[in-house]
Amino acid sequence: MSEQAFLYALTAGWFSLAVVVFLSLLFFAAPYGRYFRRGWGPAVNNRLGWVIMEVAAPLALAVCFVLGSNPDTVTTLVFLGLWEAHYIHRAFIYPFSLRKRSQGMPLIIVGFGLLFNIVNGYLNGRYIFSFSGGYGSQWLGDPRFVAGVALFITGFVINRQADRILHSLSKSADSGYKIPYGGLYRWISCPNYLGEVIIWSGWALATWSLPGLAFAVWTAANLIPRARSHHAWYRQHFPDYPPRRRALLPGIW
């Protein structure tokens, strides 16, 4: 089997696994952050766990870029820049905005996250930089690219704003969690997750690729159930939680 055939087979399996993950997470919340609980084996510091998991993503795509066989164009450099901008922040800035009192992250969750980022980076990187047939400079004017990049940037801004609000809340809190306000928190419980879904939906559109679509599906499969869990947790722990606030989509759900 050629590497290209292997990549497409792995992509098909990646879609199927996303469905399994989605269905599983509807019944239990992954045990990190506010849902940390004993019984999942050894744990590491929450911040260290995030760094270990996320650093694989920018490294994987960078390696695929260096080893790529397609000619480098402005378009592929834009793809590289968008991916690295998100993941450098996610690996080296975001972890240090997390709550200092977090109980930790099970090593099994770190391992799953690390494996996901390696495979996902490989699928997207090898496709874009080697097996896509190349993205010529004319792709810069294609409506799919323009709309996709616009979605990516919109999601990026939403995600960063939500993270800043949570970070400022954790700094001001003496102990425990508090209700976040401001930005899209006015309407939904998890604008940070909404931003992530928008980011990778934009990526799928801009790259117009099966690996990109698989990543968008994985993002939704992981974050939609977690947003549901967060929303229920807030409503359970705060009697004064805003009754009109939804989980992920303003005014809908």
Q: pLDDT tens for residues 194-208?
A: 999 999 999 999 999
Domain shared by 67 and 154, yes or no: no
The rounded mean pLDDT for the chain is 93
Provide mean pLDDT across the span 80-101.
89
For residue 172, the model assigns a pLDDT of 60
3-state helix, strand, coil in the chain (%, to 5): 70, 0, 25
Distance CA 227, CA 234 (A): 11
Distances (CA, A) of 26 to 15, 16, 196, 222, 230: 17, 16, 19, 9, 12
For residue 122, the model assigns a pLDDT of 98
Q: Is position 252 within any domain? A: yes
Torsional class of 116: left (φ above 0), alpha (ψ -120 to 50), beta (otherwise): alpha
Q: Is position 15 within any domain? A: no
Torsional class of 225: left (φ above 0), alpha (ψ -120 to 50), beta (otherwise): alpha
Domain shared by 153 and 89, yes or no: no
Q: Is position 33 within any domain? A: no
For residue 253, the model assigns a pLDDT of 87
Closest CA to 128 of 209, 205, 48: 209
Domain shared by 156 and 131, yes or no: no
Domain shared by 249 and 166, yes or no: yes
pLDDT tens digits, one per residue of 3-27: 999 999 999 999 999 999 999 999 9
Name the token pair of 45: 């510091």
Instruction: Tell whether the model's pLDDT for residue 174 goes beyond 60.
Output: no
Domain shared by 49 and 146, yes or no: no
Domain end (from 136, 166, 197): 136
Domain shared by 49 and 113, yes or no: yes
Domain shared by 207 and 149, yes or no: yes
Domain shared by 151 and 252, yes or no: yes
User: Into how many domains does the chain fold?
Assistant: 2
Neighbours of 136 (CB within 10 A): 14
Domain end (from 108, 136, 164): 136
Domain shared by 249 and 149, yes or no: yes
Name the token pair of 66: 């260096």
Expressed as residue numbers, the domain containing 108 is: 41-136
Name the token pair of 249: 């989509």
Name the token pair of 72: 């480098």
Domain end (from 95, 113, 136): 136
Provide mean pLDDT across the span 132-138.
92
Q: pTM score, two decimals? A: 0.94
pLDDT tens digits, one per residue of 190-241: 999 999 999 999 999 999 999 999 999 999 999 999 999 999 999 999 999 9
For residue 100, the model assigns a pLDDT of 63
